[in-house]
Each structure stands twice: as structure tokens, then as C-alpha cells.
Amino acid sequence: MALNLEQPAGRALKRRRGEPAAAPGAARRRRRFSVRPNMLVGAALVGMLVVAGVLAPFIAPYPPDQIQAALRLQPPSFAHPFGTDAFGRDLYSRVLYGARIALYISLLSVLLAAAPGIWLGLLAGYHRGWGDQILSRTMDIWLAFPGLLLAIVLVARLGPSLDTTVIALGVVGMPSFYRVARSGTISARHALYVEAARALGIGHTRILWRHILPNLASPLIVLITLRMGTMLLAAGGLSFIGLGAQPPLPEWGALLATGRDYLDTAWWLAFFPGLAFTLSVTGFNLLGDGLRDVLAPETHGSATG
């Protein structure tokens, strides 16, 4: 009887001894790739923004700049779901076309910030030395200035327009990408796969692009997603004070600036552009939080810094 009890126990023990290498990994994969509710909501909101921006010429009922003086300041109705503005232009059409501008601002400004910031961070973290010290101190000084204030100074110097807003936001956002890329490269430069690549005679540039950069993809993707919402919000703030996109472009910040003069008589002029702003920025933030939970939970602090 004792032998019969020990044999199943021994087989169970052997199974348990063989499981830890696979079971925890499977559990980690399930946790890693499980769908987060915040990521679903964020992806849905960002998807709405993309669809509105891409399909605006096909789903907008009116041209965004079509003036109809007889229909000025009409409240929301079946013909004009978001009402009309002071020139009789359909606000629903202008908000849809504003989604195209929002995508342009968020994508291009993040690209202008990420491309040089990531490359400089890779070089500084990999080679270290005096170049790293100079770049790091420069980025620290850069970050000492309030981002929005620095963007206002740059736009005021270059002249208010949509393109100068994108350039200014790209310049302001560069240090964040530099810091994430540099810290990740410093951690990876002495990893075994990098040492093996060096031993095989692979060049430094190829090591950076083919070995180190792919391993930094997770925190960088999270940072890019979060920064898109930040860039969109900052661009709206610049347009709200007259330093961003200029009329007649239907940029949401500019629409909000116009609507503030009619809050008592035409509430819809500020409500619907503000709602579009809120949903879009919330979507980027929720999507970034969900991606951070899935891809890089250990970079919670660095991705948002």
C-alpha cells in the first residue's frame, strides 16, 4: 500500500519538476498578451480619430469652408448635427476635417522628436565617454525649460503656422526619446548577445540597428503612443492662443478659441471641438497605458518621464 501511494506521488513530483520551466513562461505570455480593457477603449477611440481623418472627404456632408450666411449660428439639427458657426459653416464637417489636422500634428511632431532623439540616445549610451556627457547635460538643460513655454518661444520666433507648430513640438519632445533610448542602450551594451556580436566582428552601427534597437522597441512604442496625445494637446493650446494653425484651417484648438466668444449664445461651437479633443487625447493615453502594461510593465516610470 505504501508503495502504491508513493508511485503516483513520485510521478506527480516528476511532472511538477518538469513544469516550472514551461508553466510560468506560459503564464507570463498569457499575462503579457492578454487584452486590457483600457487598451481596447483607447484603440477604439484612436480608431475613430483615424477613420474620421482618413474618410473626412467622403463622410463630411459639406465642404469645411463653405459659407452660408443665412444659416449662421444654427443650433444642432438633422441637417447640421453639430450646428453652424458665425459664418454659417457646418461644424460637423469642420470637426471631421480637424481630425486630419490632429493626425498630421500628432504623427509628424512625434516623428520629428523620435528620430533624432532615439538615434542620439543610441550613440550616447553605446559609446559613452565625453560625447555622452555633453549630450546628456544638454538634454538636462533642455528639460529644465517648461515644454509648452519653449514651444511658444519657438513658434513666436518662427512665425505662427501649422508647420512651425509641428517643428516646435518636435524639438521640445526630443529629450524624452533620448533618455529612454540612452538608458536602454546602457543596459544592453554589455549583454551577452551584444558581446557575441562584437566577437563575430559585427560593426557598431549594425549592432545598434539590428540588435540593440529592436530590444528597445517596447518602451519606445509606449512612449510614442503617450506622446502623441501630449503633442495633440500642446498643439491645441498653441492654436487656442493664436500661435498654432491659422484660420480658416479647422484645427480643434482654433475652433475652441472661436467658440469661447459664443459660450452664452452658441454653446455647440466650443462643446463639439472640445469633445473631439477629449476623446482623442484620452484614446492615446489609454492606448499607451494598455501597451505599457502589455509590452513594458517594468518601464512604467521611464515611459512617462
H helical segments located in 189-259: 192-199, 204-207, 213-215, 217-240, 252-259
- Distance, in Å, from the CA atom of 136 to the CA atom of 131, rounded to the nearest integer, reads 8
Domain 39-56+98-304 superfamily per CATH: MetI-like (1.10.3720.10)
Q: Mean pLDDT for the chain?
A: 84
Amino acid at 19: E
Q: Read off the pLDDT of residues 40-71 as tens digits, 9 standing for 90 and up.
A: 999 999 999 999 999 999 999 999 999 998 99
- Cell 489609454: give the residue: 286
> 81-95, 197-211, 249-263: which range is least confident on average?
197-211
Give DSSP secondary structure letters for 94-143. Answer: HHHHHHHHHHHHHHHHHHHHHHHHHHHHHHHHHH-HHHHHHHHHHHHHHH
In the chain, domain spans: 39-56+98-304
Q: How far apart are the two ends of the chain, measured CA to CA in Å?
A: 64
Q: Read off the pLDDT of residues 198-240 as tens digits, 9 standing for 90 and up.
A: 788 888 788 888 888 888 888 899 899 999 999 999 999 999 9
- Distance, in Å, from the CA atom of 282 to the CA atom of 260, rounded to the nearest integer, reads 22
